[in-house]
Structure 1
Amino acid sequence: MADAAWIALGLAALPAAIGLVNLLLLRAPRGGGSPDTVVSILVPARDEAASIATCVEAALAQQGVAIEVIVMDDASTDGTPAIVTAIATRDDRLRLLTAPALPLGWSGKMHACARLAEAARGTHLLFIDADVTLAQGTAAALSGHAQAHRLGLVSGVPRQRIGTLGEGLTVPIISLLMVGYLPGGGRAFTRFRSLAAGCGQMMLVERRAYDAAGGHAAIRATLHDGLMLPRRFRATGHRTELVAGAGLATCRMYRGIAEAWRGFLKNAREGMATPFGLPVWTMLLAGGHLWPFLLLPDARAIAALALIFGLRLAVTLRAREPLWTVPLHPFAVVVALGIQWTALVRALLGRHEGWKGRAYAAPEAP
């Protein structure tokens, strides 16, 4: 039992130590773009009537840099195109395009983003999801940061708006994993491709670097652009950086546990859910976050839980997520592992994951 308690404490101390360093390194972008900077804000949209107006209006309200906004409607069956068209009649900086038929071998979002990039005129391209609401200075801050630090790609995790218990059990794990288990926290000085990170909800790229890296065509089959696009940039010699994004945008990622489960399931195979990777992740997460509960009242188990809940609280405060999600943390870890193991078993059985009416055989993590 004594050895087990030391192991649990070590597994808890690892993310706590990495997290402390990353929280000290993580910074919000400062400054603005140069006078000749133009940021193209690019929004792939498929059945986004509930959020597209808010997204587009916030994009058009950007200050400090010249912008254009382009929405790519990807076979929506709701009122998405009509909503965007109505806004475009009063602001000529907004354009609505219709995505061509999805070619074989592409995922829907990657295809829409590639076509958006072709239509864009900006020196920088800011890809955002249709459920993201930008703060007024975000385009200027991200483009200015990219120019000041010679970055090909800058990304940040928006503040996640969490409205249900199911979302509280799933969404906060994103920030926890990035802060607690990614050495360097995705900062540019971590030049290795394997340490690249981003968030597909909000990524700004410098146009020439994007073209040189092959753009979204280079990752056409992925369902996890937040991971794969920064890795592609680094593989082709371009610097990438993850910045503090909670003050730059907000996002209601999913609505309820069922939608969150499906959403995380589609990305799992390119992240944790691999035959070799998932057992390691299970040891790290279950061993550091759950096992100490079984070793109570050992003092080392208490110390392990103090480290884990301290990390979770610090991450929650920095991400500006609801404090009521912190006590749910052990259950969130169980749910996260449940999603990952479900994804792996489904993949081994040859099942395809679906999203918004499309089914994909996602590639494995590199």
Structure 2
Amino acid sequence: MVIYISILFIFLLLTVMNILTMPRLKDQSDHESSKVSILIPMRNEQANAADVIDSVLKSTYMNKEIIVLNDHSEDLTENILDTYRGKIKVIQGEKLPERWVGKVFACHQLSRQATGDYYCFIDADVRLEPDAISKGLHLLKKHHAGLITGFPQFPAKTFLAKLLVPLQHFFVFFHLPNIVANHSTKPAFTAAHGAFMLFDKNAYLASGGHYAVRHSLVEDIHITRTLKQNGFRCILSNVTKSITCDMYETNAEVWGGFTKNIFTGIGRSVPAAFLVALFYISFYFIPLPLFLIGVFSGNWMLTVPLLIIFLQTFLIDAATSQSKLHFLLMPISAIALVILLSTAAIKGLNGSGYKWKGRIYQ
């Protein structure tokens, strides 16, 4: 038990180190000589279209253009976009080529229309604080980087969202040594979130842009690795004070979205999936039954593991503006993660594929 507790304590220390060393969006750009192209792909986004555009229009960074691609939407997205004529540029998506992923092709088309010195890709469910672009640009220039990205603050409305969505921050602050990720170009140390990606145009084009990752379901990670392979630094920042992403409205959307990404994100490796599942059961679920045994038996040492993982989760949630009570769900989140990963692996291996926004991806 002493060894088990020691391991969990090391996990806690590594997490604290990551929290303290991850850069934040703080200082704003002190000039606007650089033009920023804000690029937004949309497919059936009638619930988000107006709000995301309004948040971008309120940006304090004035030297910008806003381009939206309507990707064959079948709802009222196009009607909403029509009301912004004169304020933004709207383009209609071309037919999806064979083997391209829909969002990746949409971003590729947007990049061909962009005229800025920097390309900022955001999802339709993102809301930017007025100073977010200015702060992101300042950080990118400060680090002479090719890309600034980060995991936004995630409102979690449904039960599955409360279990799974905050784990995105947990993975980054726990598993990724961000000092190595941010200060080297080693592709193995990479994390990114496609909801907010601010590229230096030259780095983006020199690395092949979205064309280079046209087949990827986790294009955000793969395009970041591609930039690193081409010698460009990529900065993962804590952007939660400046950027919000309300990813999913229903439990079904949560399940579908994470199923699409999680197994693909670990390279569709069955051994890796098994090890991840074993790890989270061993270190993030087992502390719960140990705690209960400890309480009823009077062996208080058995209660320590749960208290450590509660503290680890609480610190991450506090640093990323998530619910301050999410830490209480961590053991259940671990089980949900294992079930999700198992489901995604089965779908990936049996050829049934992943359904997202009306399209099937293998």
Q: Which TM-score tier does this pair reach, normalised by the shorter chain?
A: over 0.9
Cross-structure match for 1:231:
225
Indicate the residue corresponding to 1:267 in structure 2: 261
TM-score by length of 1: 0.92
Normalising by the residue count of structure 2, what TM-score does the alignment of the two structures yield? 0.93
Q: Distance in 2 between matches of 1:81 and 1:44?
A: 12
Q: Please give the alpha-carbon distance, in whole angstroms, between the structure 1 residues aligned to 2:180 and 2:218.
A: 16
CA drift of 1:6 comes to 4.2
Counterpart of 1:337 in structure 2 is 338
Q: CA deviation at 1:7?
A: 5.2
Q: Would the aligned equivalents of 2:60 and 2:134 in 1 still touch at CA under 8 Å?
A: yes
Alpha-carbon distance in structure 1 between the residues aligned to 2:30 and 2:66: 17
Query: Residues 25-174 of structure 1: matches in 2 within 5 Å?
Result: 25-29=21-25, 30-32=27-29, 34-89=31-86, 91=87, 94-174=88-168
Q: Does 1:24 align with 2:24?
A: no
Contact 2:185/2:231 (CA < 8 Å) preserved in 1?
no
Residue 187 of structure 1: CA displacement?
4.5
Equivalent in the alignment of 2:288: 293
Q: Deviation of residue 259 (structure 1)? A: 1.0
Superposition RMSD in Å? 1.6
| CA deviation after TM superposition for structure 1 residue 331, in Å | 1.0
Matched residue of 2:182: which SS?
A: coil
Which aligned runs of 4 or more in structure 1 are off by greater than 6 angstroms?
none
Q: Which amino acid aligns with 1:291?
A: I
Query: Counterpart of 1:321?
Result: 322
1:9 corresponding residue in structure 2: 5
Instruction: Spell out, residue by residue over 1:268-302, the C-alpha distance to the aligned partner (whole angstroms, 9 max, x if none).
Output: 22224521211221222111111122334255542
> d(CA) in 2 for partners of 1:340 and 1:199?
19
Q: CA deviation at 1:163?
A: 1.6
Q: Which residue in the other structure is 2:361 paired with?
A: 360
The residue that corresponds to 2:310 in the other structure is 309
Partner AA of 1:276 in structure 2: P
Deviations along 1:188-229, one digit per CA (max 9) or x if unpaired, are 214321111111111100000000010001111111123212
1:265 aligned partner, one-letter code: T
Partners of 1:348 and 1:133 lie apart in 2 by 36
**Residue number in structure 2 paired with 1:204:** 198
Contact kept? 1:186, 1:242, Cα under 8 Å: no
Give the Å deviation of 1:148.
1.6
Residue of 207, 215, 237 corresponding to 1:221: 215
The separation in 2 between residues aligned to 1:203 and 1:242, in whole angstroms, is 10
Verify the 8 A CA contact 1:12 1:307 in the aligned structure 2. yes
CA contact (8 A) 1:210 1:233 kept: yes
**Pair 229,15 (structure 1): closer, same or farther in 2 beyond 3 Å:** farther
* CA distance in 2: counterparts of 1:7 and 1:267, whole angstroms: 34
* Structure 1 range deviating more: 192-201 or 295-304: 295-304
Structure showing greater relative contact order (alpha-carbon pairs closer than 8 Å, 6 or more residues apart): 1
Secondary structure at the counterpart of residue 338 of structure 1: helix
Structure 1's unaligned 5+ residue stretches are 362-366
How far apart in 2 are the matches of 1:308 and 1:119?
Answer: 47
What SS does the corresponding residue of 1:205 show, helix, strand or coil? strand
CA gap of 1:153–1:33, structure 2 versus 1, over 3 A, is farther
Are the equivalent residues in 1 in contact too, given 2:288–2:331 (CA < 8 A)?
A: no
Q: Distance in 2 between matches of 1:185 and 1:166?
A: 31
Structure 1 Cα separation of the partners of residues 134 and 11 of structure 2: 33
Is the 1:352–1:359 Cα contact (8 Å) retained in structure 2?
Answer: yes
CA distance in 2, matches of 1:121, 1:301: 60
Structure 1 residue 303 displacement after superposition: 2.4
